[in-house]
Amino acid sequence: MATFKEFRNNVKPNWCPGCGDFSIQAAIQRAAANVGLEPENLAVISGIGCSGRISGYINAYGFHGIHGRVLPIAQGVKLANRELTVIASGGDGDGFAIGMGHTVHAIRRNLNVTYIVMDNQIYGLTKGQTSPRSAEGFKTKSTPEGSIETTLSPLEIAMSAGATFVAQSFSSDLKQLTKLIEEGINHEGFSLINVFSPCVTFNKINTYDWFKANIVNLEQFPEYDASNRVMAMNKIMETNGMLTGLIYQNKERKSYEDLVTGFKQEGLAKQDIKITPEQFDKLVAEFK
């Protein structure tokens, strides 16, 4: 069984010192080891942005996609080889702006992929512009007088799109984050894990101290039932989305792969996909 260290490679992350993404990388590596994966069993697919670099920092299969397209790639990888554990990762700009359409449809499709969003509520790689997750009044280079747009609520959107696994964590809480990623990997279906990951360079509002003062941990509520969809949505709205922990999980709904008729367990690379001349001629004849 692989250890945490075996998911490390020799590539040194070039994130800013103090960036929350370091902890998210460590949590992914710890979770992969804890659930019994080997590096060759894991594929990490990332998008564009500071977070997009993570696929090159983990010893596993990696793919650095284009802006907003991390989920189509991740779903393609999973469909081609369902034996792989697939983790998709990107920032709030990647997943909730240009990639929002893919996010919604991946959620409702319920393919067995774990999607980790590194939410710093700003565009960090392009030097600090407003993102869909920035608060109203947030001043950046793109909104010098303050943002006039409503903040997007990814948790409410995920719930309304029919999500079967919704969780949220804080990059400083490595223990909770690792546990949630383990649960997301083990969940049969699409797992959305939004992670508050402070940008120490460009976001001077949503800092570590700010999150610590505003986050509501679901562990404070022993009566909370993550299988209750109505309770989950109410708690999201009560806390204005500032809650952490396992928010909702539906274990009854089947994953996309299990609903596809004749979908084989082994990956395409292991299947005999050769066709006979007779089969080829029959296929060609259909287009005449």
pLDDT tens-digit readout, 112-153: 999 999 999 999 888 889 999 999 999 998 999 999 999 999
The predicted structure's pLDDT at residue 144: 94
- How far from 245 is each of 97, 223, 226, 233, CA to CA, in Å? 24, 14, 9, 14
pLDDT band, residue 24 (cuts 50/70/90): very high
Q: Strands 85-91, 42-46: parallel, antiparallel or unpaired by DSSP?
A: parallel
Task: Name the H helices within the chain.
Answer: 21-34, 70-80, 92-93, 100-109, 154-160, 174-186, 208-214, 229-238, 256-259, 277-285
Separation between Cα atoms, residue 50 and residue 14, nearest integer Å: 9
Rounded mean pLDDT, 3-19: 93
How would residue 265 be classed by pLDDT, with cut points 50, 70 and 90? confident
Interval 225-235 mean pLDDT: 98
Which residue bears the tokens 């869909």? 132
The whole-number average pLDDT for the span 18-27 is 96
pLDDT of residue 148: 96
Residue 237's CB is within 10 A of a number of other CB atoms, namely 12
Least confident range from 103-107, 124-128, 133-137, 158-162: namely: 124-128
Can you give the pLDDT at residue 106?
98
The pTM for the full model equals 0.94
- Phi/psi at 51 (nearest 5 deg)? -65, -25
Q: Is the pLDDT of residue 99 over 90?
A: yes
Q: Is the pLDDT of residue 63 over 90?
A: yes
Specify the pLDDT at position 69.
94
Mean pLDDT of the chain: 95
% residues pLDDT > 70 (the chain) = 100
pLDDT value at 264 more than 90? no
45 touches 90 (CB < 8 A): no
Indicate the pLDDT class of residue 7, thresholds 50, 70 and 90.
Answer: very high
**CATH fit for domain 4-257, picks 3.40.50.970, 3.40.50.300, 3.90.1150.10, 3.40.30.10:** 3.40.50.970
